[in-house]
Amino acid sequence: MTPREAPGGTAPRARHIGWLNRIGLWTLFWRDLLRDLEIWKITIAAPALQAVLFALIFQLALGGASLTMGGLDFAAFLVPGLVAFVALERGFESTAYMMVYDKLEGMITDVIGAPLTPAELVTGFAIMAAVSALITGFATWLALLPFLAAAPAAPGTLLVFAFGGGLMMGLVGLAGGLWADKWDHISGVQSFVVIPVIYMSGVFFSLDRLPAQLRVIAELNPVYYVIDGVRYGLSGSAEADPQTGLAVTAAVVAALWLLCWRLLATGYKLKP
């Protein structure tokens, strides 16, 4: 069979992809990010509103009383925690619910059938989750400015930890979405694992309020270092060494990336 001629009169040639399918990776990233942005009322506005309601509730509960937490005024302590919370939750949801939806609707075959390696698929999903987390976190920070009208103390550190936390939870969501067979499964993971882990990582309280035994357990939670790093980026104050937090975050992201790569490479719950 003679190949169809290109518009210029020459036979078409196969595109050389090389060691990285940049066009495919960008397409995957942009496809799923647009899906998030298309429902911005759910993915951006709703988490920001939730954070504002939390801030209002705590303000009313305090009744104007002065309270310090972790060496900071409570508002300065709370706002970074809320920003980190919504960003981390969005990172999880962006990959978890997308994966479950694509599996149930039979659309996942379009993704795994694309000329993308498992490594490129994992990377595309993770970066999309991190960018989605950054967008939602930024919108939440803007919404919380009436409670803490201050510029970030360390913008670079804030960006690194927010992006790293988005990668971490995006990979958790990807693994959870691959494991889940229906919506109830992934909702259970979010309700009984993800949210409790985030809440107990210092969103609303400093770890020095915990008994010594519980504090040791809390310090083993990598999400704690992400929240503490975001708090350092916004307020300039942290309980843990930011460099230690960055190392822990990077190590956990690498381990989760390898796990997701293995799941996709073996077709875990993707092949009949």
Q: Does residue 31 fall inside a structural domain?
A: yes
Please state at what angle helix 74-105 crosses helix 222-235, rounded to 10 degrees.
130
Cβ-proximal residues to 27 (8 Å cutoff; 6+ apart), any chain:
none
Q: Six-digit token pair at 94?
A: 């962006």
Confidence at residue 104, expressed as pLDDT on a 0 to 100 scale: 92
Q: Does residue 256 fall inside a structural domain?
A: yes
Pick from 139, 164, 160, 41: nearest CA to 82: 139
Q: Does residue 14 fall inside a structural domain?
A: no
Q: Which domain holds residue 187?
A: 22-265
Q: Does residue 248 fall inside a structural domain?
A: yes
Average pLDDT over residues 3-20: 63
> DSSP letters along 23-91, please?
HHHHHHHHHHHHHHHHTHIIIIIHHHHHHHHHHHHHHHHHTT---EETTEEHHHHHHHHHHHHHHHHHH
Q: Does residue 271 fall inside a structural domain?
A: no
Q: Does residue 12 fall inside a structural domain?
A: no
Report pLDDT digits (tens) over 41-51. Answer: 999 999 999 99
Check: CB of residue 163 under 8 Å from CB of residue 67: no
Number of domains making up the chain: 1
Report pLDDT digits (tens) over 115-173. Answer: 999 999 999 999 999 999 999 999 999 999 999 988 999 999 999 999 999 999 999 99
Higher pLDDT, 272 or 239: 239
Q: In the predicted model, is pLDDT for residue 37 greater than 60?
A: yes
Check: CB of residue 203 under 8 Å from CB of residue 84: yes
